[in-house]
Structure 1
């Protein structure tokens, strides 16, 4: 077997190539993306998983939240931008406060702008207006609001309910996610003009649980 010999400079060059830490990105360019993911979270499940522990006002029974808007996320066909460079001003407290009726809290609205809205290429108000329009175009199945106790059900039942209530959706434009045994979110893929489109491979994360927990509206 032939021995391999390397000069010290070659070895050091190779070492530097492999172990040089990546440069920190400052965020992608705003407005450069392919489609949106509309993320709807079932509020009672989020409260059971973490909201109650945080003392979130979203979990107050007086609020009566069901499917809330988690966010409207700019997406590439593979991957997604976040925390983008933008010349747009951040939202005011009034603007984030006005989103609490469908997002649960103004804090979530602020976070969603900072992480995702900054990548839309829109002003803060324009982004929130578009997110509200997208939320309004999707019919949230009313059957889940009629539950009076926690149930276990296949995640596919939730997907079927969204497809039934929204004939414009296809199976490849909606995915249901789970977390820690609970139904977590319904994620719906939309074009930049909010027409349903197929989700990318990295978005399709269909939950396969047959006995996912589903909490009733409080």
Structure 2
């Protein structure tokens, strides 16, 4: 009996030591992002009037009458998350900046998007901007969501459905509507590397309250 008890104690101590050893193992650290290593893109279209509610002094909000503007083209991982600020972080040249400003509403946004997201595309700046231009041109903005002079109200799913009607290739899980409080903030469209409409990966979801949301008028 004593021998059996001693064996049980020995087993318990051994398991405890193994448990302690496992507890001390360092957590797996995610490798540094590598340019060009990603699964798909998210094309983010920002509703400029909502941005301008809280950024009235931004050059984007100086009476230019923007509706949807290009926020960014973001490399994404299918299992969730995204690479960002990939090496080498080469700044834009003057010529590249001029080209970028034909797509993005401000220099500040252009440089931020290139530094954080564009560097992870695996493309040079000119190529990345050309891809962003092509992605932007492949999405038709619904007629009901063109710039207007008074507030409109829609449910988030109505906005998604308007985009699907104007762009039949967009699947139910290929678009996400994002809100800032009670206002429309962004529409995100998922695309594969060939810029065909694609399913969104894990983590790209709508972020709006239930019921109608406000779509502010242009400034």
TM-score interval, smaller chain: 0.7 to 0.9
Match for 1:28 among 28, 33, 47? 33
Query: What residue in structure 2 maps to residue 51 of structure 1?
Result: 55
* Cα offset, 1:14, TM superposition: 7.1
* Cα offset, 1:37, TM superposition: 0.5
Query: What residue in structure 1 maps to residue 120 of structure 2?
Result: 119
The alignment yields a C-alpha RMSD, in angstroms, of 2.6
Query: What residue in structure 2 maps to residue 198 of structure 1?
Result: 199
Q: Which moved more, 1:88-97 or 1:154-163?
A: 88-97
TM-score (norm 2): 0.83
Aligned residues: 209
SS in 2 for 1:153: strand
SS in 2 for 1:130: helix
SS in 1 for 2:214: strand
User: Is the radius of gyration larger for structure 1 or structure 2?
Assistant: 2
Query: What residue in structure 1 maps to residue 160 of structure 2?
Result: 159
SS in 2 for 1:171: coil
Structure 1 contact 177–186 (Cα < 8 Å) conserved: yes
Q: Distance in 2 between matches of 1:198 and 1:104?
A: 28
Per-residue CA distance 1:93-127 (angstroms, 9 max, x = gap): 44234323432101111111111111100001110
Query: What residue in structure 1 maps to residue 110 of structure 2?
Result: 109
Are the structure 2 counterparts of residues 100 and 76 from structure 1 closer, same or farther at C-alpha, using a change threshold of 3 Å? same
Q: Which moved more, 1:176-185 or 1:118-127?
A: 176-185
Structure 1 runs of 4+ off > 4 angstroms?
A: 2-6, 9-17, 20-23
Query: What residue in structure 1 maps to residue 190 of structure 2?
Result: 189
Structure 2 contact 43–135 (Cα < 8 Å) conserved: yes
Q: Distance in 2 between matches of 1:93 and 1:65?
A: 25
